[in-house]
A = this chain, B = another copy of it.
Amino acid sequence: MRIKGYVFTLFFVLGVIQDSVDGRPLLLSLSRPHPDSAADFARWLVSQNSWGVLKNVVSYSDGLPNKGSGIPYFYLTTLDPTASNALKDQRSSFTISEYPIGTCGKTDPENPTCAKITLTGKLKLLDGNSDEVEYARTALFSKHPEMKDWPKGHNFQIFKLEIEDIFMINWFGGPKPLTVKEYLHIEMNKVAFVV
């Protein structure tokens, strides 16, 4: 009982100090869900990391820290082939590793217990004036503070990955069955204090 309370307090404190460490988001702030809770786990993984591979290495955000929507938003310039190709062919897959979050400890990045997720779908340019663009901009700039100062002339625009399929390995026994509906339905509040 005392231990549970202590852990709860610890994660609460980590949540509060999150934005203030070196002006850079502290990645580990929510606890790691049990690998069997596939949707919780996937949402945790996406919300805790800040970059992945979308043909090239790109930064992303799925929402304010600890309030992720599960949908990855990107801030891309068409000077980079990742964005210019997407305007021609939207089909994309985006891969994120748990390893840089720090929660794999000494486990090898390829070990199935060190999680990895690939979200496959369509990379779409967002309309410049929608509510979703405002949401995505806040999501991106809160996790990647330097983005707001990136050169205006480079025509950075906001894209989102419309997820059609999820491939996640977070334990032995192959990929976890997980539908997009299950993934999007989870509320991050539920994930927050699973210990």
Which A residues are closer than 8 A to B by beta carbons? Answer: 22-24, 50-53, 55-59, 75, 79, 93, 95, 97, 99-100, 106-111, 116, 118, 144, 146-147, 167, 169, 174
Contact = CB atoms under 8 A, between A and B. Distances in A.
A146 to B, nearest CB: 5
Nearest to A96: B57
Contacts of A55: 93, 95, 118
Contacts of A24: 106
A51 B144 contact: no
Nearest to A76: B110
11 contacts: A22-B106, A53-B95, A55-B95, A56-B169, A57-B95, A59-B110, A75-B110, A99-B100, A108-B144, A108-B146, A111-B146
A23 B79 CA distance: 42
A57 B99 contact: yes
A140 B105 CA distance: 19
Given A56-B116, A100-B99, A51 B146 contact: no
Contacts of A50: 109
A95 B94 CA distance: 12
B109 A59 contact: yes
Contacts of A53: 52-53, 95, 97
A167 B22 CA distance: 32
